[in-house]
Amino acid sequence: MSGTRTITIANRGGAAYSVAERRPLLDTLREQGVDLPYGCRYGGCITCAARLTAGTIDQRRQVALNNRQLANGYVLLCVARPVTDCVLEIGVESHGLLYRNPFLDPLAPHELKPAIARPKEP
């Protein structure tokens, strides 16, 4: 059906939901009973982060994730809209790579937030 996408939640037994492509996944999944964490609801904090393992998401409004978190597949559901059908891991069980001790494991210049990251050295 045009205008909808199928979202599969890998860590909820592969449950699948049909959602509107133009609305944030936090809203469309919660409306169908998926229990999701959230905080700021504008893409500025990472409370609602989930991990995208297949598909494409438009999250151009997010300002909180750094390039390493983005490379690891994290999406902020409060501003994420599905471009294609997607597979997600949700909740804090998906946050294994989201948090790191910044002193033990610092970011390289290209891994910073997109607004301040430098291009990766060849």
Partner 1 sequence: MGEACCGPGYPSPAEAIKAPREKLLYTIAIYTGTGIQKPDYLATVDADPDSPTYSQVIHRLEMPGIGDELHHMGWNACSSCHDDSSMARKYLLVPGVRSNNIHVIDTATDPRAPRLHKIIDGAEIRAKTDLSGPHTVHCLGSEIIISFLGDARGEAPGGYLHLDKDFEIVGRWEASMGDIPFGYDFWYQPRHNVMISSEWAAPNTFMPGFDLEEVGYLKYGRRLHVWDFEKRVPIETMYLGEDGLIPLEVKFLHDPDSTHGFCGAALSTNVIHFWKSDDGKWAWEKIIDVDNEPHPEWPIPVPGVMSAILVSMDDRYLYINNWLHGDMRQYDITDPHNPKLTGQVWMGGLLGRAPEVNGVKVAGGPQMFQLSLDGKRLYVTTSLFSTWDNQFYPEIRTQGGVMVQIDCDVDNGGMSINPDFIVDFGKEPNGPSRCHETRYPGGDCTSDIWL
Residue 114 in contact with partner 1, rule: CB under 8 A: no
57 or 76: CB nearest partner 1: 76
Single-letter amino acid, residue 74: Y
Cβ 73 vs Cβ 96: under 8 Å = no
Neighbours of 101 (CB within 10 A): 7
State the binding string over 27-66 for partner 1 (x if CB under 8 A, else -): --------x-xxxxxx-xxxx---------------xxxx
Tell me which residues in 83-102 interact with partner 1 (CB under 8 A): 91-93, 95, 98-102
Minimum Å distance from CB 43 to partner 1?
A: 8
Nearer to partner 1, 65 or 88 (CB): 65
User: Smallest distance, Å, CB 38 to partner 1?
Assistant: 5
- Helix, coil or strand: residue 66: coil
Please give the order of strands across the beta sheet that includes 49-54: 15-20, 4-9, 86-89, 49-54, 74-76
Report the DSSP pairing between strands 86-89 and 49-54.
Answer: antiparallel
What is the distance between the alpha carbons of residues 48 and 16, in angstroms, rounded to a whole number?
19
12 binds partner 1 (CB under 8 A): no
- The residues binding partner 1 (CB under 8 A) are 35, 37-42, 44-47, 63-66, 91-93, 95, 98-104, 106-107, 109, 112-113, 116
